[in-house]
Amino acid sequence: MKPVPVASSFDEAAGLLRVCGLSVSYAGSGPSPVMALRQLDLAIAAGEVLGVLGESGCGKSTLALSILGLLPSAARIEGSILFRNEELLGLPERQLRRIRGAKISLIHQEPGFALSPVMRVGDQIAEVIIAHRSLTRKARKQEVESMLREVQLADTGRIYAAYPHQLSGGELHRVAIAQALACRPDLIIADEPTRSLDVTVQAEILGVLRNLNQTVGTTLIFITHNPALLAGFADRVAVMYAGRAVEEGSGSRMFFRPRHPYTKGLLDLMPRSTRPGDSGFGSHLPVIPGGPPDWQSLSQGCAFEPRCSLRTGICRTENPGEVTPEAGHRVSCFNHDS
Amino acid sequence: MTAEQGAKRAAKPALVRVKGLHKRYVHRPVFSRSEFAVDALKNVDLELQPECLTALVGASGSGKSTLALCLAMLEKSDAGEIWFEEREISRCAAHELAWLRPKIQMVFQDSAGALNPFFSAAQIVAEPLEVQRRESGRKLRLRACELMEEVGLSADWADRSPLEFSGGQRQRLAIARAIALQPTLLILDESLSGLDLVTQAQILNLLADIRFARSLTCLLISHDLSLVGQVADHIAVMHQGTIVERGTRQRVFGNPQHTHTRELLAATPGLELAFRTAQPGMRT
C-alpha cells in the first residue's frame, strides 16, 4: 500500500533557508509562459550540505540565481524565499547587495568568466571585503592571504598579484572559492563548481569544500548533474526535474534506495563495474531515453511521464503530489518504489 | 567485445602506429629576449587497433590534445613517426595529405565554437561533402539530412542555426559532420566534457551504433575515467607529455601499474563510489 500524502519534512525543518512554492517563468514565443521553476519547496539547515541534482535545463541554476536575486528583470517570480526568516523576494536591490557576498555567496561554473581579466585576483577578493567590512588596507591584504591559504593555495603572494589568465584552472577555482568565503557567509551556493575540471583537480576542489563544511561549518548548496560527486558529501539531496524537486532525502538513503524512477535512472548512469566483456561493438550504456521536456508545452500530468518506464494512465492526466514514504524523505511519483 | 571479435581484430595490423613522437612548443613573451620551451610530447609510442575504441586519459596539460592534433596532421611533430594504414605520414607535405584528410576526422569539446553560427545545420553537415566534391545540388542537402537522422536529429531541423540546438544536439551535429566523409579514424577530443551524464550516455550509445555500422576506429580523449571505463577497449594514460601506461581496459583498471594511473583512479568519484557500493554492507 502506498503511503498517504502527508506534510513533508520540509514543513518541520528549522532552516537557514526556506524556499516555499517558488515559481519562475518567462514570457515565451508561444501563448503560455516558459516555466523554469514550478512550485519548488526546499529547506536547508545551518551547517548542512544540500546537493541539488539534475540534468541540464532542469532549473538548478535558476534556483541559485533566484536565491541571490540575480534573475533577469524579464523573469516572473512567485512564492517565498526566507533566509534567516527574512523574505528575500521583493527586497530592494540596496538591501540585497548587503546580503550578496556577506551572507550568501555564489561560486560560478566558470570562474574564468566570473573574474575580471583586468584586475589582480587578490584585489578582486578584497573588493568583496571592501563592500561589506571596514578593514585597513594592510588588514584586508592579510585577510585575503588567509582566505587563499584556507583554500589550500600555498604561494599566496604570487596568487594575490596574478591576473586570472596567469593561473591554472584549479587555482582559478580556488580563488573563486576564496572570494565566496571572503566575508564568511552563512550560505555558499556552488553551481557546478567542478564542471570541465580534470578528475584530480576536481577531487582537490571537493576536498576544499568538504573541509570548509567540516571545520568552519559553512552551509553549502552544491549543484551538480553528477550524482557521484554527492556521494559521501551531501547530507541531503534534492533531485530536480522540469523545475520541481521530484525527490528529496538524506544523501545516504538516496544512494541506497532511490524511489523516483528519474533518480534511479540518474544513479544507473554511474559506473558500476569494469567487468571484462561488458562493452564493445553494439553494447549500450543504461540511459534515460529522450530529453528534458519542452518548457512551453508541459502537460497536466507528470513532466517525466514521456520518459518513464513505470508510467501508467494516471501519470498522463494528473500531476503527482508529494508523499513521504519514510521520515525525512519525500517523492513526487504515483509509482514510486515504496 | 567478444573473444571472437577480439581475435579477428588482433589479426589486423594497427590502423595507427606512433613511434617516439616528440613535440616542443617554444614561447617568447612580447618585449622579452628570453624564451621558454614546453615539451608537450616526449617519446610517445601508441597503437590504435582497427575498429577499437581507445581512450586517451590524463590530467589537463598532459599532452592529450597535442597528440590528437599531431595524429590528425593538424600539428607537425618535431621528431618520431606516425604510420597510418601502413604509410608514414608525419613528414608529408600538406599537398601530399589530401588522401588522408577525409580519413581522419575530429569532434571538438566546444561544440558552440566548432560550428559556424552563420550556417544552418544542413549546411554544416554538407560542407565537407561539398569541399571534397562528393555530392552537389539537391543530393547534397538530402545526404546532409540523412546524416542528421543517423545521429538522431530530425531532418525537420535542417534549417535551424546551431545555436538553436542544445549542447548534446550540437555534439550530434558535429558527429554527423565528422562521419560525412566516411572516415576510418574518429578523434573525439573531450567531446563529452561539459555535458550532463544523461546526454553523455546518449552520445556514447550513438557512438557505439556508428562504430558498429561503419567499422570505425575511435580515439576518445577524456579526463574522466569513470566515463571511458564504461566504453573503451584500450586505455592509454598520459602524464607530462608521455604515455605512462597502456593496455586493455580490464588490465589498466584491474591492475594499474603506474602511480599516476592509480592517482587518477583514486580521484575519480564515480569509481570510488562503485567500489564502495560493490561491497555489501558498505552502504550507509
Residue B234 neighbours by CB under 8 Å, 6+ apart = B49, B52, B53, B54, B55, B246, B247, B248, B249
Number of C-beta neighbours around residue B114 at 10 A: 19
Torsion B158-B162-B167-B172 (CA) sign:
positive
**What would the pLDDT profile of B40-57 be if each residue is shown by its tens digit?**
999 999 999 999 999 999
Q: What is residue B44's predicted lDDT score, i.e. its pLDDT?
A: 97
Domain that holds residue B51: 3-278
- B240 — contact with chain A (CB < 8 Å)? no
Q: How many CA atoms lie within 13 A of A110 on its CB side?
A: 6
Tell me which amino acid residue B169 is: Q
CA-based R_g, chain B, Å: 20
CB-based contact A231 B269, cutoff 8 Å: yes
Could you give the C-alpha distances from B146 to A126, A280, B150, B194, in angstroms and in order? 56, 25, 6, 27
- Residues in chain A, overall count: 338
Tell me how many domains chain B contains: 1
Q: What is residue B9's predicted lDDT score, i.e. its pLDDT?
A: 62
Do B77 and B19 touch, CB atoms closer than 8 A? no
| Probe site for chain A from B196, B224, B261, B276 (most A CB atoms < 10 A) | B196
Q: Which residues from B are below 8 Å from A280, CB to CB?
A: 1-2, 5, 233
Asked whether the predicted pLDDT for residue A270 surpasses 70, the reply is: yes
CB-based contact B278 A286, cutoff 8 Å: no
User: What ipTM was estimated for this complex?
Assistant: 0.81
Q: What is residue B275's predicted lDDT score, i.e. its pLDDT?
A: 42
In a domain, B284, yes or no: no
- A252 CA: distance to closest CA in chain B (Å): 6
In a domain, B76, yes or no: yes
Give the nearest partner residue to B226 out of A197, A228, A266, using CB atoms.
A228
Lowest-confidence region among A6-20, A131-145, A170-184, B185-199: A6-20
Q: How many CA atoms lie within 13 A of A64 on its CB side?
A: 24
- B273 CA: distance to closest CA in chain A (Å): 7
**Rounded CA gap, A246 and A258, in Å?**
11
Q: What is residue A6's predicted lDDT score, i.e. its pLDDT?
A: 36
- B279 — contact with chain A (CB < 8 Å)? no
List the CATH number of the domain containing B112.
3.40.50.300
Q: What does the DSSP 8-state code read for residue A100?
A: B
* Helix A199-215 with B269-278: angle, nearest 10 deg: 70
Q: What is residue A17's predicted lDDT score, i.e. its pLDDT?
A: 96
Torsion A277-A279-A282-A288 (CA) sign:
positive
Q: Which residues from A are below 8 Å from B202, CB to CB?
A: 287
Residue with cell 561503419: B214
**What would the pLDDT profile of B148-170 be if each residue is shown by its tens digit?**
999 999 999 999 999 888 888 99
Dihedral of CA atoms A302, A304, A306, A307 in degrees, nearest 10, equals -160
Q: Spell out the alpha helix ranges (H) of A1-120.
A: 9-12, 60-67, 93-99, 111-114
CB-based contact A272 B278, cutoff 8 Å: yes
Q: In what order do the strands lie in the sheet with B87-88?
A: B36-48, B16-27, B79-84, B87-88
The residue among A185, A187, A305 whose CA lies nearest residue A246 is A305
Q: Which residues from A are below 8 Å from B38, CB to CB?
A: none
**Which residues sit opposite B25 in a β-bridge?**
B38
Asked whether the predicted pLDDT for residue A7 surpasses 80, the reply is: no
**What would the pLDDT profile of A10-65 be if each residue is shown by its tens digit?**
444 458 999 999 999 988 777 778 889 999 999 999 999 999 999 988 999 999 99
Burial class (CB within 10 angstroms; exposed 0-12, middle 13-18, buried 19+) of A188: buried
In a domain, B19, yes or no: yes
Number of C-beta neighbours around residue A147 at 10 A: 26
In a domain, B124, yes or no: yes
Q: Spell out the alpha helix ranges (H) of chain A.
A: 9-12, 60-67, 93-99, 111-114, 121-132, 137-150, 156-161, 169-181, 199-215, 227-230, 251-256, 261-268, 313-317
- A54 CA: distance to closest CA in chain B (Å): 9
Asked whether the predicted pLDDT for residue A82 surpasses 90, the reply is: yes
- B248 CA: distance to closest CA in chain A (Å): 10
Do B148 and B158 touch, CB atoms closer than 8 A? yes
Q: Could you give the 3-state DSSP secondary structure of residue B52?
A: coil
Give the nearest partner residue to B263 out of A57, A200, A232, using CB atoms.
A200
Give chain A's mean pLDDT: 87
Could you give the C-alpha distances from B98 to B14, B88, B89, B104, B140, in angstroms and in order? 21, 14, 11, 11, 21
Q: Which residues from B are below 8 Å from A198, CB to CB?
A: 58-60, 223
Torsion B129-B130-B133-B134 (CA) sign:
positive
Q: What is residue A47's predicted lDDT score, i.e. its pLDDT?
A: 93
Positions in chain B whose pLDDT score sits under 70 = 1-11, 270-284
Do A271 and A91 touch, CB atoms closer than 8 A? no
Give the nearest partner residue to B233 out of A57, A168, A280, using CB atoms.
A280
In a domain, B208, yes or no: yes
Number of C-beta neighbours around residue B94 at 10 A: 9
CB-based contact A279 B167, cutoff 8 Å: no
* Helix B197-214 with B167-179: angle, nearest 10 deg: 10
Give the nearest partner residue to A270 out of B167, B231, B273, using CB atoms.
B273
CB-based contact B284 A286, cutoff 8 Å: no
**Rounded CA gap, B22 and B241, in Å?**
9
- B220 — contact with chain A (CB < 8 Å)? no
In a domain, B283, yes or no: no
**Rounded CA gap, B185 and B188, in Å?**
10
Q: What is residue A14's predicted lDDT score, i.e. its pLDDT?
A: 57
CB-based contact B198 A273, cutoff 8 Å: no
- A21 CA: distance to closest CA in chain B (Å): 27
Asked whether the predicted pLDDT for residue A150 surpasses 50, the reply is: yes
Residue B236 neighbours by CB under 8 Å, 6+ apart = B46, B54, B55, B56, B57, B243, B245, B246
Q: Minimal Cα distance from B233: which residue of A? A: A280
